[in-house]
Every structure is written in structure tokens, then in C-alpha cells.
Structure 1
């Protein structure tokens, strides 16, 4: 558990500065990012730069919802991630992390570059969004442990609220982040 807390602090350090922007949805989003980060690390392994890449993608993957006030948030989220990567001198990671963000709601597997972390990150987000119904081989006990440690805190109801708001103005395209 201590190792998980130390790992999660990598993601927290990237999310915490956005508290005032995210507002009432902050705790739910931070816990979602924590869960996705831990599931992603469990699926991809903790070798090399994997943890840091997954932490960055987790922190930024939905952030455009709040920074740009839109449910069509993939572009803004990628822009924010790229700006962060430029600020830390990791522009060589930008294409991979942008692909992780762009494809995290892809309905089927992503296989364009198997060496990249896109597929484990996509799976990690799906594990969380489906409450573990899709587990991609992670043990149910582990998923429940992480969900218990980092509770939903209103994240899924916030997504439902945002989806409903989007449906009012874009009834033919309520979920623009989904990819086939």
C-alpha cells in the first residue's frame, strides 16, 4: 500500500494545481486519475519511464472538460499535456502521450504502435469507467481494493451530468470523445 501511495503522488502532483479550475468535481477527478494511473501501471508494468508517462496521461486525459468548458475535450487535453511536456523538456514523449489521451475512449483495441502505452492506458480507463466490469485480466480483488482506497466521490455522476448537458446542445453527437 505504501508503494501505491508513493506512486499515486506522481499523479497527484500533476492534478493538484488544477483544483481551482476543476472546482466541485476535483476530488472525483483526482480519484479517477489515481485509479486509472494504478490500473495502467498494473497493466503496463512499472519499467523505465512507464509510471511517469501514465501519470502525465492520467492527469491530463480529461482535463479539457474543465479548462475549456467542453465535453469535446480531447483536443484541449492533448494541448495541455503537450505544454506540460514542453515545460519539463520531455517533448519526445508528446506523440505517445497525445495518442494515449486521444484513444482512451476507443471502443476497440489500439495497435498502431505496440511499444507505446496507449493500449494499457485505454484499458485502465475502461476498467474505471465500467466500475471493473471490463477488467482486461486485472484481478477483481485488486480493482475493488483500488476502488475502495480511492472512492468515486461523484465522478461518474459528474460524467452523467456533463453528458446530459452535451445532449441538450449536440443531440446527434453527445459523446465526441468516443473513437471507433
Structure 2
């Protein structure tokens, strides 16, 4: 799906929606990681559109950085290049919840605070207390292997995950 005949920003907007693509210089500068600013920030509204964005990025050999709340971007090696930041905060829905089974299906952009409040309404607690607060996203917490003191009693977030649906680097949604 090479897009050499049309600008990448247009292709990204066609996939994710015009409001989901940010390319103004001030926003891009504010999103810089270790002084490296992206060319675009895209906030896909669904897993399917996220997969299409990643497929396009793979076809175009773009350097992609996933970002949830952005609280752990300083972890890891500084990037040499950032073409595209994929902002997962648009994937913020709780898809299914079974209090009796103590299982919940959430998207990567759901915040720890939103999830904690949701299960609390049913008299349950979420056994997670990572540093950085309730604004962190579940996808980011899993990616960073974030945990806190409760891990000694309940395990880490990765121990609590029963299954995951994700987008591979080539854009395949599994």
C-alpha cells in the first residue's frame, strides 16, 4: 500500500480521520523525545484503524513510537529518528466486564484511574499501584512492566493479564 503518489499526512488522515492527525510544529515540538520531534502524531479511534496506520508506516519505513500517557518515554534508548508517534489515548474504552468472573476487557488507552473507578463501583479493587499515578494508560503500564508495592501480594500487571490483542509491526491485528 505504498502512498508515494500522495502525501503521507493525507494518507494518515484518510485512515485515522482528519482530527486524529497532528502535524502543527508546536505540538510536535512538545512531543519531542530526547530532542527528536516526530513528523506526525496520530491518535487512532479503533484497533482496526491503528492496524491500518501501522501497516502504512511499515510500508513507508517510518520510525514509529507508541505512546499512551507519555509518562515512561524516557525509558530505553533515545531514538535516532521519530517519524510517527501513535497516541493510544483514543483507544480508551472498557469493552467488557464480568464482576462475577473478575475479568475485564479494556483497550490500551484506558487509564489506571478510569479502570480503578470502574471496578470499584462493583465493590472490587484493581491490585495495581505503579508509580506515576492514575493517569497512566494500561497499554503503557504493560509495555513498561510497571508495578508497585502491591506486586508482592498480587503479582505484577503482566501476571494479571489473561490475554491480549495487539498490532504487529507489519500492521496485522492479532
> TM-score, normalised to structure 1's length?
0.36
Pair member with larger Rg: 2
Structure number having the greater strand percentage: 2
